[in-house]
């Protein structure tokens, strides 16, 4: 039995069921390119392990799509469009790739990981390419980046799968003492975390006790200037714990491996954690999801539902009294253009009404 091969196959299957064709495509292409790039993978044992991994992933790649197709051809076509259509460009519901956009995303989403990966190449040099970690990490990162470069659909979050690959390749850079550049990064993390935490706590206190934020604050352009912040004890306790944990990390940073990288991770966790504890009601109010949900009224009649395409867009003309209704009718409080866009957000509910049996596969 090959536990590593089984883990590879099950991992590719989980990635397929979670995201679609991207995960098994990147993992499979990486596995096939390793023998092409590096001689140590050209063995009969590795070929056997790939065969075991293929058998392990086969149920996910075959059974689930077949079951979906048998249950609903319409949903299967939608799933296929979201996987192949968005990559090839003939199906573009959003997130169109722009020239140079993916390369900029690589720089900021992967910061500071690409610094450590580059340091690993500089430190290890030629002997490093004989290490399995660097071989797998850089090959998978190359494959994933190539997919992003040629894809017709692009979002910054598509870069996230490169993080595990580059982390595997950059491990060797963490085995040495930190240099001056990394010490600067660590100091900057401490300063940024201190300023960010003080600012977020101060804004929270202003909203709790005064119900508004001062004039001239840039946040007023994105978040409500007047908001009475409710106090949630669990959220408050979590925010205090996050702040205290980062303070402890600063004190013991010289006892941990890669202190600057640890401080960067702590900074990201602290900012996101405080935003999702102290500021969460404020952010929800800015999004206005509850208000939009309450105001949005979907058409109830069978005639109105019959005019909805599989993707929930109102396209076909409506006969009868509904044909004379003004744009946005049935969507009180929303502008005509918003009404049409809002219907897209309820694709799942509309499909559930049109095809109850197929809705079981929406999740």
Does the structure show a pLDDT above 60 at 328? no
Asked whether residue 277 falls in the same domain as residue 220, the answer is yes
pTM above 0.95, yes or no: no
What pLDDT shows up at residue 94? 58
Domain that holds residue 236: 180-287
Asked whether residue 165 falls in the same domain as residue 269, the answer is no
Asked whether residue 36 falls in the same domain as residue 167, the answer is yes
Look at the chain and report how many structural domains it folds into: 3
Asked whether residue 92 falls in the same domain as residue 235, the answer is no
Task: Report the distance separating Cα 262 and Cα 253, nearest Å.
Answer: 8
Task: Report the distance separating Cα 43 and Cα 214, nearest Å.
Answer: 67
What pLDDT shows up at residue 93? 67
Confidence band, pLDDT 50/70/90 cuts, at residue 100: low
Q: What is the pLDDT of residues 1-31, one digit of tens each?
A: 578 889 999 999 999 998 888 889 999 999 9
Confidence band, pLDDT 50/70/90 cuts, at residue 204: very high
Summary mean pLDDT of the chain: 78
- Looking at 260, 287, 314, which one is the last position of a domain? 287
What pLDDT shows up at residue 296? 53
Asked whether residue 137 falls in the same domain as residue 10, the answer is yes
Asked whether residue 16 falls in the same domain as residue 163, the answer is yes
Give the 3-state secondary structure of residue 302.
Answer: helix
CA-wise closest residue to 160 among 94, 114, 109, 104:
109
Confidence band, pLDDT 50/70/90 cuts, at residue 325: very low
Task: Report the distance separating Cα 190 and Cα 170, nearest Å.
Answer: 23
What pLDDT shows up at residue 331? 42
Asked whether residue 185 falls in the same domain as residue 167, the answer is no
Does the structure show a pLDDT above 90 at 71? yes
């Amino acid at each position: 039995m090959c536990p590593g091969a089984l883990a590879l196959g099950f991992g590719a299957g989980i990635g397929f069921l979670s995201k679609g064709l991207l995960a098994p495509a990147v993992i499979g292409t990486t596995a096939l390119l390793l023998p092409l790039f590096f001689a140590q993978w050209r063995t009969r044992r590795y070929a056997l392990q790939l065969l075991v991994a293929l058998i392990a992933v086969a149920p996910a790649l075959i059974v689930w799509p077949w079951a979906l197709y048998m249950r609903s051809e319409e949903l299967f076509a939608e799933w296929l469009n979201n996987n192949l259509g968005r990559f090839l460009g003939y199906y573009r519901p959003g997130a169109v790739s722009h020239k140079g956009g993916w390369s900029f995303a690589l720089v900021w989403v992967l910061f500071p990981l690409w610094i450590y990966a580059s340091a690993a190449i500089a430190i290890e040099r030629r002997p490093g390419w004989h290490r399995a970690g660097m071989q797998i990490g850089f090959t998978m990162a190359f494959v994933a980046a190539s997919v992003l470069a040629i894809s017709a659909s692009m979002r910054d979050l598509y870069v996230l799968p490169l993080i595990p690959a580059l982390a595997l390749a950059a491990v060797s850079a963490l085995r040495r003492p930190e240099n001056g550049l990394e010490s600067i990064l660590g100091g900057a993390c401490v300063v940024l975390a201190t300023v960010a935490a003080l600012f977020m706590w101060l804004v929270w206190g202003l909203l709790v006790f005064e119900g508004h934020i001062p004039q001239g604050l840039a946040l007023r352009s994105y978040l409500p200037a007047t908001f009475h912040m409710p106090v949630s004890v669990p959220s408050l306790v979590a925010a205090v714990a996050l702040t205290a944990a980062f303070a402890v990390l600063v004190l013991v940073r010289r006892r941990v491996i890669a202190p600057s990288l640890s401080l960067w991770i702590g900074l990201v966790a602290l900012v996101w954690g405080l935003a999702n504890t102290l500021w969460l009601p404020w952010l929800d109010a800015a999004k206005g999801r509850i208000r939009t949900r309450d105001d949005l009224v979907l058409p109830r009649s069978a005639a109105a539902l019959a005019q909805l395409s599989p993707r929930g867009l109102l396209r076909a003309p409506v006969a009868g009294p509904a044909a004379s209704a003004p744009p946005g009718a049935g969507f009180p409080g929303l502008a005509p253009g918003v009404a049409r866009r809002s219907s897209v957000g309820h694709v799942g509910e509309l499909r559930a009404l049109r095809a109850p049996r197929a809705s079981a596969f929406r999740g």
